[in-house]
Structure 1
Amino acid sequence: MDYQYYDEESDYIDVDDGDEDVEDDPSDFTYDDSLREEDYYGGGYEEDGIQLPDGYLEILRSCAQPSLLQVIQYVAPMLVVCLGCRLLCSLHAGRRKIQPGEAASAGSISIPLHLIHLASGLMILYVTLSHRLALILLLSVVGYVLLQLARLGRRGAVILAFVTIGSQFIYELLIWRQRSDWSQLRGIQMVVNMKLISLGFDLTATGTAKSKTIRVPNPLVYLGYIFSPATSCLGPWISFASYLDSLVPRNSWLVTLRRLLPNLVLCLVALVVSNCIAPFLGELFAFSSHFLGMYFEAMSVRSSHYFVSFIAQALLVASDQGTENESQWLGPLVTQPWRIEWPRSISSLVRSWNIPMHEWLKRYVYGPWKKEDGSKGRTILAVLCTYLVSSLLHGMDLRIYLVLISLAIFGEGEVLLRRHISSVLDACLSANRCRGRDRCRYANCPKKRNWLCFRSCLIRLANLGFTALTIFHLAYLGVVLLGESLESSDDHESFLAHWQRAGYLSHYIGVGTFVLYLFIS
Structure 2
Amino acid sequence: MDYQYFEEESDYIDLDEEDEVETLGGGGGGGLDYRFGKAEDEEDYYLGEEELEEEELNRFGVLGLAERLLGSLQSCVEPSLLQVLQYVAPMLLLCLLCRLLCLLYSQRRRLTSLAPLHFLHFACGLVLLQFSVGYRLLLLLLLAAIGYLLLQLLRLGRRGAQILALLTVGSQFLYELLLWRRRSDWPQLRGIQMVVNMKLISLGFDLTASGQLQARIPGPLAYLGYVYSPATCALGPWVSYGCYMDCLVPRNSWLISLRRLVPNALLCVLAVILSNCVAPALSDFFGDSSHFLVMYWDALSVRSSHYFVGIMAQSLLVAADQRLDGGQESELLGPLVSRPWLIEWPRSISSLVRGWNIPMHEWLKRYIYGPIKVDGRSRGRILLAVLLTYAVSSLLHGMDLRIYLVLISLAFLAEGESLLRRQLASCLDACISANLCRGKERCRYARCPSRRGWQSLSHWLVKATNLAFTALAIFHLAYLGVVLLGDALNDETTESFLWHWQQAGYLSHYIGAGTFVIYLFIS
The two structures have a TM-score, normalised by structure 1, of: 0.90
The residue identity in structure 1 corresponding to 2:114 is S
For residues 108-507 of structure 1, what are the structure 2 equivalents within 5 Å? 108-205=112-209, 208=212, 215-323=216-324, 324=326, 325-484=328-487, 486=489, 494-507=496-509
Cα RMSD, aligned residues only: 2.5
Answer whether contact 1:195 1:238 (CA < 8 A) is retained: yes
Amino acid of the residue matched to residue 184 of structure 1? Answer: Q
Preserved contact between residue 231 and residue 237 of structure 1 (Cα < 8 Å): yes
* 1:270 CA drift (Å): 0.3
Pick which of 130-139 and 418-427 moved more: 418-427
2:239 partner letter:
I
Residue by residue over 1:379-411, the C-alpha shift from the partner in whole angstroms, topping out at 9 and shown as x without a partner, is 122122222211111000000000001111111
User: 1:368 & 1:78 partners in 2: Cα distance?
Assistant: 36
Deviation at 1:283, TM superposition (A): 1.2
Q: Which runs of 5+ in 2 are unaligned?
A: 44-55
Contact 1:37/1:276 (CA < 8 Å) preserved in 2? no
Q: Distance in 1 between matches of 2:282 and 2:344?
A: 16
Describe the SS at the equivalent of 1:180: coil
- Aligned residue among 502, 507, 513 for 1:511: 513
Spell out, residue by residue over 1:465-494, the C-alpha distance to the aligned partner (whole angstroms, 9 max, x if none): 1111100100000000013355785x9961
1:230·1:319 contact (CA, 8 Å) conserved in 2?
Answer: yes
For the pair shown, which has the larger CA radius of gyration, 1 or 2?
2
| CA distance in 2 between partners of 1:132 and 1:488 (Å) | 25
Question: Match for residue 68 of structure 1?
Answer: 81
- The letter of the residue matching 2:432 is L
Letter in 2 for 1:340: I
Distance 1:331 1:206, change over 3 A: farther
Could you tell me how far 1:55 is from its partner in structure 2? 6.0
Identity %: 61
Offset, 1:58: 3.0
Structure 2 residue matching 1:155: 3-state secondary structure:
helix
1: CA distance, partners of 2:229 / 2:490: 38
> Per the alignment, do residues 25 and 439 of structure 1 end up closer, same or farther by CA in structure 2, a change over 3 Å counting?
closer
Shift of 1:96: 3.1
Distance 1:286 1:42 in 2: 6
Q: Aligned-pair distance for 1:13?
A: 3.7
Which string of whole-angstrom CA distances, capped at 9 and with x for unpartnered residues, describes residues 93-151 of structure 1?
A: 112355xxxxxxxxx52211111111111110011111110100010110011011112
Distance, in Å, in 2 between the alignment partners of 1:298 and 1:201 is 36
Structure-2 separation of matches of 1:214 and 1:253: 33
User: Once structures 1 and 2 are overlaid, which stretch shifts more, 506-515 or 301-310?
Assistant: 506-515
2-structure distance, mates of 1:156, 1:238: 21
Residue 89, structure 1, aligned to residue 102, structure 2: yes
CA distance in 2, matches of 1:173, 1:431: 40
Structure 1 pair 391/55, CA: closer, same or farther in 2 (3 Å)?
closer
Paired amino acid for 2:75: S
- Structure 1 residues 55 and 156, CA, compared in 2 at 3 Å: closer, same or farther? closer
| CA distance in 1: counterparts of 2:132 and 2:96, whole angstroms | 17
SS in 2 for 1:364: helix
| Counterpart Cα distance in 2 of 1:17 and 1:96 | 48
TM-score with structure 2 setting the length: 0.90
Q: State the SS of the aligned residue for 2:81.
A: helix
- Structure 2: how far apart are the matches of 1:444 and 1:55? 47
